[in-house]
Structure 1
Amino acid sequence: MEDQTAARDDSVLGSRILKVNHAGEHGAICIYSGQIIAARLTARDMVIELEEFKSHEVRHRAVFWAELQRRGRRRCRSYWLCALGGFVLGLGTGLLGRKAIAATTVAVERVVLRHLEQQLEQLRGKDEAAVAAISSIIEDETQHHDHSAGHLHGGKFWPQVLSPVVAASTEAVIWVGMRA
């Protein structure tokens, strides 16, 4: 009986994490959507890269959605909050130009990658389907972080200004999502 309760608790935690990750991926799609619109004016040379990153996020969202559907779970209540917040963040930082775009991606991905690693630690040996879904996106998220960090060489202003705000906002959305 105790083993069944622990397994159910692990499954509930895995499902909650997957719901938040699904909403977060939707938010990331919206960040890139806003940035793509603005980058057409401020950083044309980044548009193809941003479209590629967005395509990765679309795939990630599909991975989490497929696992949620397999479990019979609905999406997170913070899904549309992530969309709105992501689009506003993307459009705003996109209007500030290439260094702001890159600083935003670095800040978001730093938080996301830390959370993904924590999630894997929590779920390994308890919810292998959730572990597989999370593990399948880490390489792309790392690439987004590292590639965007390469755009910041010599630029300290936007990382110093945006990183704390973007990181705190990302943490807040994750926190809200885990409680929604």
Structure 2
Amino acid sequence: MSLALLPSKAIRRSPRPQYLPVLDFLAPSWPSWQPIARKACMATSAPNAPPSSPPPPSANPPSKPLTKEQKDFLDSALRVNQAGELAAVLIYTAQTPPLTRAHPHLRPLMAHMYEQEAGHFAVFNALLAKHRIRPTAMYPVWSVAATALGWGTALMGREAAMACTEAVETEIGGHYNEQVRVLLEWADERRREGAGLGAELEELLGTLRRIRDEELEHLDIAVENDAKEARPYELLTDVIKGGCRAAIWVTERV
């Protein structure tokens, strides 16, 4: 069933907190992050044809191969991202029926957040497929846990459901921000060596920034919709944040 997006003017955004300014599953492996060197082809020309002009210098500095540590970081990061976005989709799927029955005005808001999470999930599905990254073996466990968390917080009420979103997006936003920071460090290091980050990593950096900002928009929405009025707020959000951190740690390794 297609869910319509909420018009942008209908979403009130509160001032964002000041974050660091660093601000499906099989085909080519991580070496495809590196631009493939193309051999120049010798074209046969007519005897009297003028020599061809040399190609213009490239505007982008050459890239360099990823180290094993960098490949391992990207594999782990994208596996976690894909699992996290699956969990987000399942949380919103479970929360929406009870929430919208009790509060019909939340229907477009829930649709908006669901559609963005579904888009994020599709992005990371494609990246795992392209780079032959194994999804986490914890898929069944996280699926059940996310569904239970969504239903449970929705049944506790609107404030608890929004507190769940606030807690999850706080952890996920910070996780994406850390990945952005690492890629920017790689770019700075390569720049000092006269090399570039490479087209695919530049694209990934932009994708991570966009998704991070959309996750933080969900955090803003949750706070605007009385997340902090949930009872017991501190206990609920601390437990959810702790669960998110534990899930990230396990997914990075399993």
When normalised by structure 1's length, the TM-score is 0.88
Say which of 84, 91, 100 aligns to 1:24: 84
Q: What is the CA-CA distance between 1:97 and the residue it aligns to?
A: 1.1
Say which of 104, 118, 139 aligns to 2:178: 118
Show the counterpart of 2:247: 173
Query: Gaps (5+ residues) in structure 1?
Result: none
Show the counterpart of 1:140: 214
Distance 2:211 2:250 in 1: 22
**Percent identity over paired residues:** 26
Q: What is the CA-CA distance between 1:57 and the residue it aligns to?
A: 0.6
Query: Gaps (5+ residues) in structure 2?
Result: 1-63, 188-196
Q: How many residues align?
A: 177
Q: What is the CA-CA distance between 1:38 and the residue it aligns to?
A: 2.0
* Moved segments of 4+, more than 6 Å: none
CA RMSD of aligned residues (A): 2.1
Change (3 A) 1:161 1:169: same
CA contact 1:99–1:158 (8 Å) conserved in 2: no
CA contact 1:103–1:158 (8 Å) conserved in 2: no
SS in structure 2 opposite 1:157? coil
Pairing 1:87-126 to 2, within 5 Å after superposition: 87-124=147-184, 125=186
**Equivalent position amino acid for 2:249 in 1:** W
Show the counterpart of 2:229: 155
Whose radius of gyration is greater, 1 or 2?
Answer: 2
Show the counterpart of 1:65: 125
Say which of 79, 82, 86 aligns to 2:142: 82
Tell me whether 127-136 or 26-35 shows the greater mean CA deviation: 127-136
Tell me whether 112-121 or 36-45 shows the greater mean CA deviation: 36-45
Q: Going by fraction, where is helix more abundant, 1 or 2?
A: 1
Q: What is the CA-CA distance between 1:154 and the residue it aligns to?
A: 7.1
CA contact 2:159–2:227 (8 Å) conserved in 1: no
